[in-house]
Amino acid sequence: MKIRIGVIFGGRSVEHEISVISAQQAISAFDKNSYDITPIYITKTGKWYTGDALLNVDNYKNTDSLLAQCTEIYISPTFGDFTINAVQSSIWKSKEIAKIDIAFPIIHGTNCEDGSLQGLLELKGIPYVGCDVLSSAVGMDKIMMKMVLKESGLPVVDYTWFTDRSWHMDKQAIIEKINKIGFPVIVKPSNLGSSVGVSKAADEAQLIEAVELAGRFSSRILVERMVVDLKEINCSVLGDVANQNASVCEEPLGAGDILSYKDKYITKGSSSKGMTSTKRQIPANIPKEQAMLIQDLAKETFRTLSCSGVSRIDFLVDKKDNKVYVNEINTIPGSLSFYLWEATDKNFGQLLKTLIDVALKRQRERDNLVVSYGENIFNMSAGLSKSGKS
Amino acid sequence: MENPLFLAALAVLLVYAFAKLRFELHMMQLNSYRNDRYFKWLKTNVLQGTRVFEAITLAITGILLLTAGAVVTAAAFILLYGLMAYLLFVKKQKKPVVFTQRAQRLFGLTFVLSAVAALAFYLATGKIMCTLWVGGFALLLSFVLIALATILIAPVEKSINKWYYNDAKKILEQRPDLIIIGITGSYGKTSTKHFLYRMLSEKYNVLMTPGSYNTTMGVIKTVREELQATHQVFIVEMGAKQPNDIKEICDLVHPQIGILTAVGEQHLESFKTIQNVQKTKFELIDALPSGGLAVLNADYEFIANRPVADRETALYSSDNEKVDFYIKNLSYTARGSSFSVFNKGKHLADFDTKLLGSYNLSNILAGYIVARHLEVPDSSVAFAIKKLEPVQHRLEVKVHANGVTVIDDAFNSNPVGSKMALEVLKGIEGQRKIIITPGMIELGEKQEYYNTILGEHIADTCDYAILVGKNITLPIMKGLKNKSYPDNKIYVAQNFKDAVNHLGGMTRAGDVLLYENDLPDTYEL
């Protein structure tokens, strides 16, 4: 009897391809003696498929022929229904394709990492790996995340935010605010990962262009002070709100002063294997005390945002004064940060097992909570009044 | 004219057959598909409305068949059977029939038997209206047919059960890593199961047999339908109505840990002697592997005095300090109980719970011993115990806004339970201790005796007693008088409403009220 895992990947997101690679890496790392894997692929148009052809990364070069070899599926939002159903069925072909015990979303970016997929899994009542709806949503939205972290006393760089529309209506007031923060600044759409739509602005003219760019990806825009003399440090956290462990720190080595989408994923052309191909230094070349500080801040960030599973928290270190800032959290990090855990104390297989255990633990804790009362208050008899009332 | 009429009559009869056979099936189902129980029930129910009406109908149509034409007979047939089918369909059932697969098989076979009777007649005589009448006659005797069908289908059911049994066994054999815990006892096994489940859930993925599924078939159903690869522990509640019941479940699941919560005088009808109860309950302990953990409630004489060899034993008690695990420093407050657990003189842990009463605490202790054995940290167990919820109206304690503490034990009506409730009332902090009770019912010939004793306990414990119902509480009054309890501390209420009104005028902050037993609305006070 093996534990049946449904690995969900792909998705309507700019990080679709990265998700496919992360998922392939994870699927090949699972201990096949303990787990049965059902790949569940969400296309760029939002259709769901399963099939063995999904297990070979080369097949993704031609999506049409890949999907022709797969079965289109759906899962229902009904509570307690863990079956995967074929969209097309007949009297000869049964509707039920597989059953899963646990869902494992390995999807980056919008429409999945942001809590929407988690919401569906929550409705179904199925245990799933990673952050829940709340922490996924807050973690995905750079503005909300900054607000929560700032309120909790965690160090974040100065920032301001506004909507696309208010920028259009009241540009001058917003520019004044940004002037107070001081140029150069970095402009980001609030809800995308992997540096998409992110650019820097050294003056007002560049700012206008940067905001235009960001506005194409999100209606909510974040502007923050740019740390000029910068060192980026990342640290992964594994666990839940009750217990967390921090990995060793890494220093990603980008080509420019901010890591662009291109830097992160496309530098090596078609041989790209996701985050693992990025140049990086593990462990980061920083003093031991600073590494420990970053690990503590990473765990505190993870706890504050009520995360679960594995996350990667990215930090900015100002080389001028050695100040450390929390930059952002990835609640489903590229390659699940397995390379950081390999350098700490776990191989990929052990990391995956821990993630499954944490997911089941959360499910148990949830089952212990009261969600509704068995009594029907429309149907309470008057007889109750005689017991226990004084 | 004749043919359509005949077809209509046939259709009506078929509809009626469905309704009637469904009724018979329902009765058979309520008697657990067992002919011995079914016949016992039939003895008093064979002459009920439906059957009498049926006999009359058959008599009328029989006479018409002999005297009048086929058209008149068919019309009468349609009218009378239509009416009876209608009456059966509108009849309300407390617990409606469930068409399980087993029920469908039995229903089908009974239907076939009825049809075969009519068909045989038709083939022999070729008279169509008479055939319908014979069909109706077969339905009159459907209680015999269903009993016959039950006998005929028994081998099929047996082999199906066997298949389920083997299937469950196969599933369990694939899970050598699964930790299996058996719980049995005359009382307290369901509570212990829930408590243990909550404690172990702090560390493990636990499956337990749900609700009252405590028979072999219930365990098989749980294994086949609910056991998943993610489960690490399986808690099996084992009930017994006769010797060997528990052994049968153990042969299937092979528990590694066993909890025996109580050996008492339950189901004595089938067990005859308490020694037989003891022997049956200990089937669980005997089934444990060499070195397996046996958790035994030493508060029961018939558990404490039974030697257990070759197993690791953990005897526990709610107050006896001579056994392995026991409870000390017990105190009750309006928020529940606090207590410490000791192991042979060594303090292990302190716990708080919303639950009250030594029964509950003893069940918690049994759970703790197993949780400890399976290395759940004490701090996690303490959290789990703090989170345990009392069952509604069973020693449920609430502090009301006016400062009055209410212990709601309205669902209790047995001598041991009410004694425990009074112990809690005595132990709990508060000003005046007040009981509201109509006493206990349905205790047969010993009812008066137990209520008198209850009265004596009340005299020892309570500062004020409100007795609900004059006549019914006479034995309690007798008990109070035995202890010369003063009259001005007793109020005899006419009913609960009167009792509540009286209370409203006298309670003040700091009082503790115990509602002991609530009688059904239909009960005449």
**Contact A360/B230, CB-based, under 8 Å?**
yes
The confidence score (pLDDT) of residue A375 equals: 52
> Could you tell me the two tokens for B21?
């056979």
**By C-alpha distance, which of B263, B461, B427 is closest to B333?**
B427
**CB-based contact (8 Å) between B500 and chain A?**
yes
- The CB density around residue B282, as the number of other CB atoms within 10 Å, is 22
Q: Catalytic residue numbers of A?
A: 15, 194, 337
pLDDT for residue B119 is more than 60: yes
Q: In chain B, pLDDT over 90 holds for what percent of residues?
A: 45
**CB-based contact (8 Å) between B387 and chain A?**
yes
Sign for the pseudo-dihedral over CA of A356, A358, A363, A364: positive
Shortest alpha-carbon distance between residue A343 and chain B (Å): 28
pLDDT for residue A380 is more than 90: no
**CB-based contact (8 Å) between B509 and chain A?**
no
**By C-alpha distance, which of B55, B56, B71, B58 is closest to B133?**
B58
The confidence score (pLDDT) of residue A258 equals: 47
Residues of B in contact with A369 (CB under 8 A): none
What's the average model confidence in pLDDT over B123-132?
81
Chains A and B: how many Cβ contacts under 8 Å? 52
Q: Is the pLDDT higher at B125 or at A221?
A: A221
What's the average model confidence in pLDDT over B249-259?
96
Q: What average pLDDT does the structure give for chain B?
A: 88
- Give whole-number Cα distances, A199 to A109, A188, A193, A196, B95, in Å: 18, 7, 13, 9, 69
**Contact B230/A388, CB-based, under 8 Å?**
no
Q: Which of A49-58, A143-152, B35-44, B218-227 has the lowest mean pLDDT?
A: B35-44
The confidence score (pLDDT) of residue A277 equals: 52
The confidence score (pLDDT) of residue B64 equals: 85
**Contact A1/B171, CB-based, under 8 Å?**
yes
Listed by number, the residues of chain A in 121-150 with a beta carbon closer than 8 Å to a beta carbon of chain B are 127
What's the average model confidence in pLDDT over B519-525?
53
pLDDT for residue A254 is more than 80: no
What's the average model confidence in pLDDT over B245-253?
94
CA gap B351, B333 in Å, rounded: 13
CA gap A199, A215 in Å, rounded: 12
Question: Which tens digit of pLDDT belongs to each residue from B30-49?
Answer: 888 888 888 888 887 777 77
Which residues of A carry a binding-site annotation for Mg(2+)?
A: 314, 328, 330
CA gap B485, A71 in Å, rounded: 81
Shortest alpha-carbon distance between residue A111 and chain B (Å): 28
Q: Which of A258-267, B219-228, B247-256, B434-443 has the lowest mean pLDDT?
A: A258-267
For chain A, the distance separating the N- and C-terminal CA atoms, rounded to the nearest angstrom, is 55
Q: In chain A, pLDDT over 70 holds for what percent of residues?
A: 87
**CB-based contact (8 Å) between A3 and chain B?**
yes
Shortest alpha-carbon distance between residue B57 and chain A (Å): 41
pLDDT for residue A259 is more than 50: no
**CB-based contact (8 Å) between B402 and chain A?**
yes
pLDDT for residue B126 is more than 80: no
The chain B residue lying nearest A382, using CA atoms, is: B521
pLDDT for residue B306 is more than 80: yes
The confidence band for A374, taking pLDDT boundaries of 50, 70 and 90, is low
Residue whose structure tokens are 């257990």? B308
Contacts of A62 (CB under 8 A, 6+ apart): none
Q: What average pLDDT does the structure give for chain A?
A: 87
What's the average model confidence in pLDDT over A285-290?
94
Q: Read off the amino acid at residue A204.
A: E
**Contact B228/A101, CB-based, under 8 Å?**
yes
Q: Is the pLDDT higher at B400 or at A371?
A: B400
**Contact A390/B513, CB-based, under 8 Å?**
yes
Residues of B in contact with A127 (CB under 8 A): 230
The confidence band for A269, taking pLDDT boundaries of 50, 70 and 90, is very low
Question: Which tens digit of pLDDT belongs to each residue from B45-94?
Answer: 777 777 888 888 888 888 888 887 778 888 888 888 888 888 888 877 76
**Contact B504/A1, CB-based, under 8 Å?**
no
- The SS3 call for residue A166 is helix
Shortest alpha-carbon distance between residue B515 and chain A (Å): 7
**CB-based contact (8 Å) between B394 and chain A?**
no
Q: What is the DSSP string of A356-367?
A: HHHHHHHHHHHH
Per the CB < 8 A criterion, the answer to whether B152 and B112 are in contact is no
β partners of residue A344: none
**By C-alpha distance, which of A10, A121, A117, A129 is closest to A59?**
A10
What's the average model confidence in pLDDT over B485-492?
92
The confidence score (pLDDT) of residue B390 equals: 78
**Contact B230/A102, CB-based, under 8 Å?**
yes
Q: Which of B76-80, B288-292, B336-340, B364-368 has the lowest mean pLDDT?
A: B76-80
CA gap A8, A350 in Å, rounded: 20
The confidence score (pLDDT) of residue B52 equals: 85
Which residues of A carry a binding-site annotation?
A: 314, 328, 330
Is the whole model's pTM more than 0.90, yes or no?
no
**CB-based contact (8 Å) between A80 and chain B?**
no
Question: Which tens digit of pLDDT belongs to each residue from A200-235?
Answer: 999 999 999 999 999 888 899 999 999 999 999 999
The confidence score (pLDDT) of residue B63 equals: 87
What's the average model confidence in pLDDT over A377-387?
43
What's the average model confidence in pLDDT over A116-126?
94
**Contact A389/B496, CB-based, under 8 Å?**
no
CA gap A20, A205 in Å, rounded: 38
Strands (E), B243-324: 257-260, 293-297, 312-317
Q: Read off the amino acid at residue B344.
A: K
What's the average model confidence in pLDDT over A306-333?
95
Residues of A in contact with B404 (CB under 8 A): 390
CA gap A244, A389 in Å, rounded: 47
Helix (H) or strand (E) holding B58: helix B49-67
**CB-based contact (8 Å) between A364 and chain B?**
yes
Q: Which of A206-220, A246-260, B193-207 has the lowest mean pLDDT?
A: A246-260
Residues of B in contact with A102 (CB under 8 A): 230
Domains of chain A listed by start with CATH number: 3-128 (3.40.50.20), 158-225 (3.30.1490.20), 230-366 (3.30.470.20)
The chain B residue lying nearest A364, using CA atoms, is: B201
- Give whole-number Cα distances, A59 to A30, A51, A72, A271, A280, in Å: 21, 12, 17, 15, 29
φ, ψ dihedrals at A228, nearest 5°? -75, -50
- Give whole-number Cα distances, A151 to A136, A146, A221, B99, B497, in Å: 18, 8, 20, 59, 55
**By C-alpha distance, which of B86, B497, B256, B258 is closest to A385?**
B497
**CB-based contact (8 Å) between B351 and chain A?**
no
Please report, to the nearest 10 degrees, the dihedral formed by the alpha carbons of residues A237, A241, A243, A244 taken in order: 10
Q: Which fold has domain B176-387?
A: UDP-N-acetylmuramoyl-L-alanine:D-glutamate ligase (3.40.1190)
**By C-alpha distance, which of A183, A171, A291, A287 is closest to A221?**
A171
pLDDT for residue A270 is more than 50: no
β partners of residue B490: B465
What's the average model confidence in pLDDT over A153-171?
94
The confidence score (pLDDT) of residue B79 equals: 87
The confidence score (pLDDT) of residue A20 equals: 94
What's the average model confidence in pLDDT over B472-487?
92
> Could you tell me the two tokens for A285?
């070349």
Q: Read off the amino acid at residue B499.
A: A
Residue whose structure tokens are 């086949």? B224
CA gap B227, A293 in Å, rounded: 45
Sign for the pseudo-dihedral over CA of A120, A123, A124, A125: positive
Residues of A in contact with B518 (CB under 8 A): 386-387
The confidence score (pLDDT) of residue B395 equals: 84
**Contact A386/B500, CB-based, under 8 Å?**
yes
**CB-based contact (8 Å) between B229 and chain A?**
yes
CA gap B59, B79 in Å, rounded: 14
Q: Where are the domains of chain B?
A: 4-156, 176-387, 396-523
Question: Which tens digit of pLDDT belongs to each residue from B136-180?
Answer: 888 888 888 899 999 999 999 999 999 999 999 999 999 999 999
Neighbour-count burial for B294-312, b at 16+ CB within 10 Å, e otherwise: bbbbbbbebbbebebeebe
Report the complex ipTM.
0.76
Helix (H) or strand (E) holding B436: strand B433-437
- Give whole-number Cα distances, A159 to A174, A182, A183, B78, B250, in Å: 12, 10, 12, 86, 66
CA gap B178, B181 in Å, rounded: 10
**CB-based contact (8 Å) between B408 and chain A?**
yes
**Contact A387/B393, CB-based, under 8 Å?**
yes
Q: Which fold has domain B396-523?
A: Protein-Tyrosine Phosphatase; Chain A (3.90.190)
pLDDT for residue B130 is more than 90: no
Residues of A in contact with B230 (CB under 8 A): 3, 101-102, 127, 360
pLDDT for residue A295 is more than 90: yes
pLDDT for residue A370 is more than 50: yes
Shortest alpha-carbon distance between residue B287 and chain A (Å): 25
Residues of B in contact with A360 (CB under 8 A): 205, 230
Question: Which tens digit of pLDDT belongs to each residue from A30-78?
Answer: 999 999 999 999 999 999 999 999 999 899 999 999 999 999 999 999 9
Question: Which tens digit of pLDDT belongs to each residue from B411-466?
Answer: 766 787 888 889 889 888 888 999 999 988 777 778 889 899 999 999 999 999 99
Shortest alpha-carbon distance between residue B201 and chain A (Å): 6
